[in-house]
Amino acid sequence: MTLQQVFSKDFFDKYDPVVEPVVQIDMTECKKEDQPRMIALVNRLAKSPSGLETLKIAEENGFKFSFFEPGVNCCGACDEAGHWVRLNPNETDDKLVGTLAHECRHAGQFVRGAHEAFGVMDVRSELIAFRAMEADAQTYAITSCKELALQGETGPYNTFKKRYPEIEKAFDTAYKAAGNQITHDVMTETFEGWYDQLRTKTVYEESYQIEPMLKEIYDLKQGKEPTLFYNKQKMSAEEAVAMAGWTKDGNYYTKDPKRLESGKFLDVAEQTMGDMRDFFKLRKELTGMECDPSLDTIPVRPDTMKRIRPKMGEKPMGGLFEIKNRILTNKQHYADQKQKQTQKQKMAFTQSIAAKYAR
């Protein structure tokens, strides 16, 4: 944002520089010229009871709020170690309202004992824990957006619906079945709707499982010591839900958590499983460390897209933050692939019809 934009009439019309945040967030890392926009986003989200709850938890536990510098692709992020929440200034405010709810929910998860370090738990537990964290954060994001929509502010909900149709479908179906009420059962169905996103699951597998493994093998080949162990800790679905599904009115997840340890809730793509087995084979050759036995308990689903990543043993694409940053980029790449495929199918269908009537 330029100084010309900051002092323009449009800026003052949209972001009142004298308005105070309804939740006293820490903006010490937020540029002064960006603070009116951050306050506007916070105050919009705070109109939602769920959004206000997440904001207060992040604020009370000292998380710092700011925007990313140019060049970062992800919509937002919450960092456990740095205790910060950051948003992408290039996204629309309607998108960032839901993103802010999502990232503040991650802050609450960290407060309740969640961790984002790789290789601490076995692979099975890592899948259970990381997926539950994402499913919960998206559940709170759409719940907050719906609460705003019920007040007449429909932009954040419509934006969420466009970006995450599988989750919105699960939410809307359950919401209507519950008599247009947001209940714990509705939030449970929304949580499970996250696992219907095959492309998103593949992207997270690529970013949270495979790329740390790529970096580990590359570093081991450079003579460095192991950092990923995958057998130190375990987490059951019951423990993951207890951490992720908390609300001030009790845990919203109403089903048996054991269901999250099988089927679509735990499965990985064929290429993901192949990469993971390659990792443990190479690691054993380099260090003598045994394979993680939890791999044998993870179901496999067919690949649904072409993957873009180095082979195991080659130089990885980046470090921890770059991994987070690339998630959105990869999701957009796969979305573009799908759109091109759909366009080709439509063109082929049109050509076949034209050829039929040309005879």
3-state secondary structure of 35: helix
Q: Tell me the residue range of the domain where 12 lies.
A: 1-111
Distance from C-alpha of 310 to C-alpha of 39, rounded to nearest angstrom: 41
pLDDT of residue 13: 59
Residue 125 lies in a domain: no
Residue 27 lies in a domain: yes
Q: What is the mean pLDDT of residues 9-34?
A: 86
**For the segment 263-291, what is each residue's pLDDT rounded down to a tens digit?**
999 999 999 999 999 999 999 999 999 99
Determine which helix (DSSP H) or strand (DSSP E) holds 163, and give its type and residue range: helix 155-163
Residue 155 has pLDDT above 70, yes or no: yes
Q: What is the mean pLDDT of residues 13-30?
A: 93
For residue 222, the one-letter residue type is Q
pLDDT of residue 326: 45
pLDDT of residue 235: 96
Structure tokens at 112: 């309740």
Distance from C-alpha of 244 to C-alpha of 349, rounded to nearest angstrom: 46
pLDDT of residue 320: 45
Query: Distances in Å between the alpha carbon of 115 and those of 110, 121, 201?
Result: 6, 10, 19
**Percent of the chain having pLDDT more than 70?**
84
**For the segment 67-112, what is each residue's pLDDT rounded down to a tens digit?**
999 888 889 999 999 999 999 999 999 999 999 999 999 999 999 9
Q: What is the mean pLDDT of residues 257-266?
A: 98
Residue 7 has pLDDT above 70, yes or no: no
CATH number at 21 reads 3.30.2010
pTM to 2 decimal places: 0.86
pLDDT of residue 336: 43
Residue 238 has pLDDT above 70, yes or no: yes
pLDDT of residue 34: 97
| pLDDT, greater one: 156 or 233 | 156
Residue 45 lies in a domain: yes
Label residue 359 by pLDDT band (50, 70, 90): very low
pLDDT of residue 96: 98
Distance from C-alpha of 65 to C-alpha of 79, rounded to nearest angstrom: 11
Residue 194 lies in a domain: no
Residue 162 lies in a domain: no
pLDDT of residue 343: 54
E strand map for 38-83: 64-67, 76-79
pLDDT of residue 310: 81
Domains of the chain: total: 1
Q: What is the mean pLDDT of residues 30-52?
A: 98
Distance from C-alpha of 313 to C-alpha of 315, rounded to nearest angstrom: 7
Residue 305 has pLDDT above 70, yes or no: yes
Residue 61 lies in a domain: yes
Residue 116 lies in a domain: no
The full DSSP string for 285-345 is HHH-PPP-GGGGGS-EE---S----PPTTSPPS--HHHHHHHHHHHHHHHHHHHHHHHHHH
Other Cβ atoms closer than 10 A to 177 = 13
Q: What is the mean pLDDT of residues 42-70?
A: 97
Question: How high does pLDDT run on average in the chain?
Answer: 88
Q: Considering only CA atoms, which of 28, 27, 60 is closest in space to residue 41?
A: 27
| pLDDT, greater one: 27 or 356 | 27
Residue 121 lies in a domain: no
Among 49-58, 72-81, 328-337, the minimum mean pLDDT is found in 328-337
Determine which helix (DSSP H) or strand (DSSP E) holds 350, and give its type and residue range: helix 320-358
Label residue 318 by pLDDT band (50, 70, 90): low
Among 88-97, 101-110, 214-223, 334-343, the minimum mean pLDDT is found in 334-343
